Amino acid sequence: MTDLLMPKATAVWLIDNTKLTFAQIADFCALHDLEVQALADGDVDAGIRGYDPIINKQLTQEEILRCEKDSEARLERATTDLPEPTNRTKGPTYVPLAKRGDKPNGIAWLIKHHPNMKDSAIIKLIGTTRDTITKIRERTHWNIINITAKHPAKLGLCTQEALDAAIEKMGDEVKAPAEQVAGIAELP
């Protein structure tokens, strides 16, 4: 579950509106007991407005009442049936205008040195189209005369780490069928 939204503001609201102990509030808000006490005394962050965890579905009134009756009980966050947010994947990297003309050279290098690399891996690595890769492979690109194979990381089209990862992944995919064939040949 994600962290509590605005823990100090939630602590201020709980201090002002409930009979919970400082230890219970500190435990729920992931703060230190002394920090909660300082918030209650107004010594720290005096201008913080309370943030109602009940309205924001982080806590229920029943849970607060249960913990007010038992000072040893711990507050449990309210559960939700909403799916957890997913992190977005990093999109294509920006390639400056001056470097975009170098993309065919990087593609040519990948095709020359790693002919088994899938088009999808090249697309992800360099940020090009399948059509461009096909034209360079078939040597029908409009500028094929001027295309020379150059290392894509040295051209600044990708990082060396990304290139190594793509090559390693391709190597694993190439080894897997060979191992399967070797395993079949050993069968009686």
pLDDT bucket at 120, cuts 50 / 70 / 90: very high
HEC letters along 92-119: CCCCCHHHHCCHHHHHHHHHHHCCCCCH
Q: What is the DSSP string of 1-27?
A: -PPPSSHHHHHHHHHHH----HHHHHH
Q: How far apart are CA 53 and CA 49, in angstroms?
A: 13
State the pLDDT at residue 177: 52
Q: Mind listing the pLDDT tens digit for each residue in 31-64?
A: 999 999 998 888 887 788 888 998 888 899 999 9
What's at 49, amino acid-wise?
R
Q: Rg of the Cα trace of the chain?
A: 30
Sign of CA dihedral 112, 114, 120, 125: negative
Kindly state the helix (H) or strand (E) to which residue 181 belongs, with its residue range: helix 160-186
Q: How far apart are CA 33 and CA 67, in angstroms?
A: 17
State the pLDDT at residue 188: 45
Predicted TM-score (pTM) of this structure: 0.49
Q: Give the angle 143-145-149 at the CA atoms, nearest 5°.
A: 95
Structure tokens at 138: 């078939």
151, 109 Cβ separation under 8 angstroms: yes
Tell me the average pLDDT of the chain. Answer: 85
State the pLDDT at residue 81: 79
Closest-CA residue to 6 (of 55, 60, 43): 55
Q: How far apart are CA 48 and CA 155, in angstroms?
A: 51
127, 170 Cβ separation under 8 angstroms: no
If you ran DSSP here, which 8-state letter would residue 75 be given? -
What's at 141, amino acid-wise?
H
Compute the average pLDDT of residues 93-105: 87
Check pLDDT > 90 for residue 181. Answer: no
Q: How far apart are CA 16 and CA 12, in angstroms?
A: 6
Check pLDDT > 90 for residue 78. Answer: no
